[in-house]
Amino acid sequence: MLEELKQKVYEANMELPRRGLITYTWGNVSGIDREKGLFVIKPSGVEYDVLKPEDMVVIDLDGKKVEGDMNPSSDTATHVVLYNRFPNIGGVVHTHSSWATSCAQAGRDIPCYGTTHADYLYGSVPCVRNLTKEEIDEVYEKNTGILIADEYEKRGMDYVATPAVLCKNHGPFTWGKNAHEAVHNAVVLEEVAKMAARCEMINPQNKPAPQELQDKHYYRKHGANAYYGQNN
């Protein structure tokens, strides 16, 4: 079942250690088949050097395991919520990459200080609040996803334009049109977090880039009249 998607999700998962985004088993990638209403995710706690495409676990949008010999990622319920609340995404990534997680532990949004950030992420990367004790005790992973989606609604943010979020005292989640793009956005987020932290070390009074500069860089790549790259 979904053998092609399993291969793609496996390859996306294997990008995490290659890109230096994870240590040991600290991360997971999923990808969805929207027509079938099923997604594929990494099994829980399996080391990357022994991971195989056939180990991927198939889950439905109610969070029930459809196929797989192993338990899915412990973050599966968060992925379920994101796929249900963000209908235009096709892949989700969670890591504990050092710089992005440091920003999450600090409990701060990542401001857009420059064009590297603006090229890929529109505006600040939000950091959501801590879950309450009741939310943690109830359904921790599900409520993490609900908190993320609710924060985007509350702020009026476009989840496609800003495909990255920080969970306070936890770590980052990113998403994209497929699993590969979600990993790409995780790499971008880590670099942007590193640049922002260094920027504030050099100049603690620094301000975000001018909005017109942010807009120019984002929309020349992603807008209706985008002209970055090759149109072929």
Please give the positions annotated as active site.
Answer: 119, 228
Paired strand residues for 72: 43
| Cβ atoms 218, 115 nearer than 8 A | no
Instruction: Measure the CA angle with vertex 165, ends 89 and 198; round to 5°.
Output: 135
Please check whether residue 175 is in contact with residue 89, taking contact to mean a CB–CB distance below 8 angstroms: yes
H-helix or E-strand containing 27?
strand 27-33
Angle between helices 76-85 and 133-155 (to 10 degrees): 30
- The DSSP annotation for 58-86 comes to EEETTS-EEE-SSPBPTTHHHHHHHHHH-
Count Cα atoms within 13 angstroms, Cβ side, for 137. Answer: 3
Residues 6+ apart with CB under 8 A from 144: 75, 77, 78, 81, 131, 167, 170
